[in-house]
Structures are given as C-alpha cells and as structure tokens.
Amino acid sequence: MSTYIFILGKDRNLSLAELHARYPNGKFDGDGDFEILEIDQKIDQSEFNHLGGVIKVGELVAIVNRNNLSNELTQQLIAHHSGSKLNYGISVYGWSEKNLRSLLLDMKRNLKKEGVSSRFINQQFKNVSTAQYKGLKGKGIELLVAVHGDDFLIAKVIAVQDIDSYSERDFEKPFRDMRVGMLPPKLAQIMINLAGDSKTIWDPFCGGGVLVMEGLLMGRNMLGSDINPETFEGAKKNVDWLGKDADLFLHDATQPLKGKKFDAIVCEGYLGPPQTRLQSPDRLKPLLQELDELYVGFFNALVEINFKGSIVIALPFFRCIGNQELDLKSTIEKIEKMGFVLNPKILKYARHDQVVGRAIYRFQYR
Ligand SMILES: C[S@@+](CC[C@H](N)C(=O)[O-])C[C@H]1O[C@@H](n2cnc3c(N)ncnc32)[C@H](O)[C@@H]1O
C-alpha cells in the first residue's frame, strides 16, 4: 500500500471527480488544494500522464508535527542525496507560502551543519513550478509539505504535469478548427477518466478528434464520428499525425449507430455557433430549441440501439446579460425521462471570460 499526495488543478471539483473515478478502490482524504490517496497501485510519471486535472504528485515519506518539521525535512533530503551538491526544492500546500522563507533558510543551515553542500531552487521563496521541477528531475529532489489538521505530511515528488506535451498535442496537430470549440486535451483526459475503465469509447461528435487522440494515448480503442465531412477529414489527419489508429466514420448522431461495439460514450457535443458577447436569454431561445432537438434525437437513437454503458457528455451553458446563466435543463429532464440516470454532480468548466461554458453530465441507462 502506498500513500500519494496529489496537487489539484484550478478546477478543484473536476480534479477530484477525475481522481475518484480513476481510482475507485482508493481511500481518499483531503484538504483544500491537495488530495491524499492510499492505494495498492504504483503511480509514476506514465500513469500520471493519463490524468488531466492534477498538477503534481508526491509519495508520502513521513508525517510529523510542526516542531519536528525542519529536522525531518533535513533527514529526508540527506537520505535522498547522492553526488556532490544537493539540489532541492520544497513546496507547501494547505499552509501559507510565507512559511517557505524560514523553512528554506533552516534547511540550508541544518544541511551545512551536517556537512552537505546544497542549493535550493525555489525562486523568491515561492513553491517550485512544474517547469522548475523538470530541470531538477534526475539531479535533485522536491519535497512537498501538506498540512492536514495538526499533521505535516512530507512527500517526495514523483511526477508532474507534462506541460510541453500538452501544448504540442494542442497546438501542433495538423488540423485545428477555431470555428468549433476545441476541447483542451486535459479536459478530454478528465472526461475519459470519468467514464471509468471502459475499453472501447465512441465519440459521436468528434470534430477534430481531440477526445479520440487522448483516448488512444490512454490505451483505449476509439471510435469517432461527425456529421461534417470537413472536420471528419481533419480528425483523420490528426490521428495519423499521432501515429495511431482509430475507427473514424461519417455519421449523424441523431441516427441509430448499427454494427459497432463500444462500452462507453465520451463526447463534447455541438455547442452552437461561437459567441463572443453576452446575449439576453430571449435571444438564445432558438439555439436552445435547436440543441434540444439534437440531443433528444441523439439519446433517442441510443435507446434504439439499446446502449447501456456510461455516457460522459459536455454540453454548453451560456452566460447571459444580467449575470444569468442558461443551461440545457429542460433537455436534460427529457433525457432523464427516457431512462438515463444522471449523476447529480454536474461539473462545470469555463474560463472567467468565456460566454459559452461546458457542463459535464454523466449518465447511465437504468
Ligand atoms: C464542439 S464540436 C466538437 C469538437 C471536438 N471535441 C474537438 O475538440 O475537436 C461539435 C461537433 O459536433 C458536430 N455535429 C453537429 N451536429 C451533429 C450531428 N447531428 N451528428 C454528428 N455530429 C454533429 C459538429 O460538426 C462538430 O464537429
């Protein structure tokens, strides 16, 4: 059994939902910006690369009280030290970063007393960034201090978010269509994890194929379809660029899909035309009507093919004039009436300046 401390991303609810879905047998506890997971499974960088909602993870090495903190940190650093100069970083969570200055200066003094020449990489006595950790990896060590009640948990960082790989997948793929909202790869990973450990996933609104690509990288078999031949060709190019294979085809999602096998559906549906300005709820009515027809049609087609697996779908919500928010509430009610059971925890994702956000719904046929 090992205990890990995950540092959560800025959308805390999404990060937590993802961790709980990916590790259903884990024991969880947490506080603010971190989550503790006890599990009989090894978590390393390649496992961590399949999580979209977390920033770094450390393996627990000690639990101490405040009085023993400096001493224990010193001992941990010495124990992990090899080579001549000890390069290290310390980051604190659940505790003000203001505490870092005296902690780091304490460590420096303690290490000197022990005859260890050292250098800390924290800049301006702030937490270590993921980019800084990359420079340290293999040459030094980062320790996390997470304060949980009266306990000071010390963990050794074992993996961090691979930001370069995300931006390569996001910005360097051959087909990018700015007219349709492109799903950030991290959100695609979170959605795939929310669907549990399904082996074959269908994205019926695949657009340029972000979900299909992320699913392939996570070792799933992927089916992707779209009604639009141009985006469909784009998805094919993107999957080729990745050097992987998926079953991609043209299909109208409101029609029953026959002759294909899959055990989960994960998708970002059509969000409507791009919107840059806040609208009044009245002006959005025709769009809501159009989306209602599309999604009622889609779920009806799933009933027709007797689909019983899990469905994770991102649908739009609209920020309107007068601080109001409009979502597809009445459409969701219709879907529930068809027999799809909705997980009551709806997860929302939107940048602060976005007019159209994504609400992630999780359904299971009863
Ligand atoms: C928001 S985009 C999906 C973007 C995709 N997740 C990505 O990151 O590239 C929605 C897609 O739904 C497709 N679409 C709209 N109506 C459809 C329908 N009836 N059947 C299948 N696809 C449809 C559009 O062509 C569009 O590509």
The per-residue pLDDT for 100 is: 97
Distance in Å, CA 96 to ligand 1 centroid: 44
What kind of architecture, by CATH, is found in domain 164-365? 3-Layer(aba) Sandwich (3.40)
Taking the chain (366 residues) in runs of 10, the rounded mean pLDDT of each run is 97 97 96 94 97 98 97 94 88 96 96 94 96 89 97 97 93 84 92 97 97 98 97 96 97 97 97 91 95 98 97 97 94 98 96 93 94
pLDDT given at position 82 = 77
Side chain identity at residue 334, one-letter code: K
**pLDDT for residue 181:** 65
Whose Cα sits closest to atom 15 in ligand 1?
270
**Which whole-number Å values give the CA distances from 71 to 62, 66, 75, 84, 154, in the listed order?**
12, 10, 6, 21, 12
Report the run of H or E that residue 241 belongs to, with start and end: helix 229-242
Contacts of residue 354, defined as CB under 8 A and 6 or more positions apart, other chains included, come to 319
The one-letter amino acid code at 227 reads I
Could you tell which of 170, 252, 270 is best to mutate to test the pocket of ligand 1, judged by most ligand atoms within 8 Å of the CB? 270
Residue 23 and residue 178: Cα distance in Å, rounded? 34
CA terminus-to-terminus distance, the chain: 35
227 lines ligand 1 (CB under 6 A): yes
Q: Which of 359, 348, 281 is nearest to 315 (CA)?
A: 359
Gap from CA of 79 to ligand 1 centroid (Å): 53
pLDDT of 137: 85
Question: HEC states along 317-349?
Answer: EEEECCCEEECCHHHHHHHHHCCEEECCCCEEE
Ligand 1 center from residue 270 Cα (angstroms): 5
State the closest ligand 1 atom to the C-alpha of 298, by its place in the atom list counted from 1.
19
Tell me what the pLDDT averaged over the chain comes to.
95
Q: Which atom of ligand 1 is nearest to the CA of 209?
A: 9
Question: Residue 67 in 3-state DSSP?
Answer: helix
Percent of the chain with pLDDT strictly greater than 90? 91
Q: How far apart are CA 231 and CA 222, in angstroms?
A: 17
The CATH topology of domain 2-161 is: VC0802-like (3.30.2130)
Give the model confidence (pLDDT) of 163-185 as tens digits: 999 999 988 999 988 776 689 99
* Amino acid at site 245: D
pLDDT at 84: 82
Residue type for position 323 = N
Query: Cα 191 to chain center, whole Å?
Result: 8
The residue extents of the domains of the chain are: 2-161, 164-365
